[in-house]
Amino acid sequence: MSISKLVFPPLSYTGWGSLQNLVPEIEKYQVKKILVVTDPVLAQIGLVDRVTEPLKENGYEVTLYTEVIPEPPLEVGEKLVSFTREGEFDMIVGVGGGSALDLAKLAAVMADHEGPAADYLNLSGTKKIEKKGLPKILIPTTSGTGSEVTNISVLSLETTKDVVTHDHLLADVAIVDPELTLSVPARVTAATGIDALTHAVEAYVSVNASLTTDGLALQAIRLISRSLRKAVEDGSDKQARIDMSNGSYIAGLAFFNAGVAGVHALAYPLGGQFHLAHGESNAVLLPYVMGYIRKSCQTRMANILNALGGNSDFLSDEEASYRCVEELERLVKDVGIPATLSEFNIPDSALESLTQDGAKQKRLLSRSPLPLEEKDIREIYKAAFK
Ligand code: NAD
């Protein structure tokens, strides 16, 4: 019998209108100076006011930081870390997609550490995180990354991505209010939605999957597959936004505990070298990676097919696993994401550098049910170029 270690953030609120819990939660902390970390788009469209206004009305001293950019480079993270250290804040509230949430939690922990954040990176860092840092509340405005419930902060480096990861990066409170996602444009809805789907699929076939993560992952796949197309087509579809928000949240809980694998390992270099959005990188690779590892997890892929709304009843596991890959391809296509790397204007001359960087992601690759070595990674990228 195997033993599963499961870690969940201490407190989450989910559901339409759950943002109303923000002020009552903050009141439980002895804080006065709050740093709200977001990106310029959310400031411009006024979405972040939904967070800052109630704080100001309740007498908190609020500083708004809006310099987060998508797929944040390490330097952008370092700048926020310096700003946080100088500002002597009591708490950080992150509001936004994964980019803003990742930097908010990084800054909260780094406030209590010395030296650049680069020293704490997983692949190239030399120092260990030891202290919890400032209390942090994370409020996602996309349905995708699950960053509000993971202990990971992803940073873009010159040619790939790396992470700072430690349980101290977990949110003290996550508030997952689907109402905040109504304004997400169709293209971002599609990319972030497939990102959440990828989390669930990779967690379900991970070598570290457990009974708990299986339940979360399959339910996330059901919610996402029934509502992603609708959310992309009509962003004001309330039920579709609720399903996507819940799906993304529980997919986050699943992958944080079971891990993601090959799709993410190969997606990171696409983000690093070609600045493809994280969700789009995952989306374009998902069918190719699942097609490649299919043989190692056919029964699980039959279960995924059923969760995607297909029916494996009269199929062998092998047949069902092929159908599963087709269903994934169809969903990616239906939400308007190109099916090949070439359609993203990535030149096939990049095959070797992508392969080299993908192979470095040993932490991610170790969760794949089919061990993926350099030659396998090259084959998958090759197929994705065609
Ligand atoms: P994002 O945060 O980069 O946002 C994408 C765009 O959507 C931005 O322009 C943003 O302004 C806009 N946007 C966000 N919410 C909006 C809203 N409600 N209305 C209108 N526009 C809105 O995108 P993302 O996919 O959420 O995050 C990607 C980042 O998260 C990447 O760096 C990725 O590596 C990281 N990530 C982290 C984890 C984790 O566990 N920490 C997991 C997966 C991905």
pLDDT digits (tens, 9 = 90+) for 33-48: 999 999 999 999 999 9
Mean pLDDT of 271-292: 95
Q: Name 12's bridge partners.
A: 174
Q: Name 176's bridge partners.
A: 14
Mutate to test the pocket of ligand 1, among 45, 147, 281 (most ligand atoms within 8 A of CB): 147
**152 CA to centre of ligand 1 in angstroms:** 14
Q: Is the CB of 41 under 6 A from ligand 1?
A: yes
Residue 158 is predicted with a pLDDT of 85
Residue 229 is predicted with a pLDDT of 98
Residue 23 is predicted with a pLDDT of 98
Q: Is the CB of 184 under 6 A from ligand 1?
A: yes
Count of all residues that appear for the chain in the document:
386
Residue 242 is predicted with a pLDDT of 98
What share of the chain has pLDDT > 70, as a percent?
A: 100
For the chain, domains (ranges, CATH) are 12-181 (3.40.50.1970), 186-385 (1.20.1090.10)
Burial of 117 (0-12, 13-18, 19+ CB in 10 A): buried
Q: Is the pLDDT of residue 256 over 90?
A: yes
Residue 1 is predicted with a pLDDT of 55
- Distance (Å, whole) CA 92 – CA 206: 33
Q: Is the CB of 70 under 6 A from ligand 1?
A: yes
For ligand 1, atom 43, which residue shows the shortest CA distance? Answer: 145
Q: Decide: 31 and 60 in contact? Cβ < 8 Å.
A: yes
**189 CA to centre of ligand 1 in angstroms:** 10
More confident residue, 321 or 9: 321
The residue type of 340 is T
Q: Is the CB of 321 under 6 A from ligand 1?
A: no
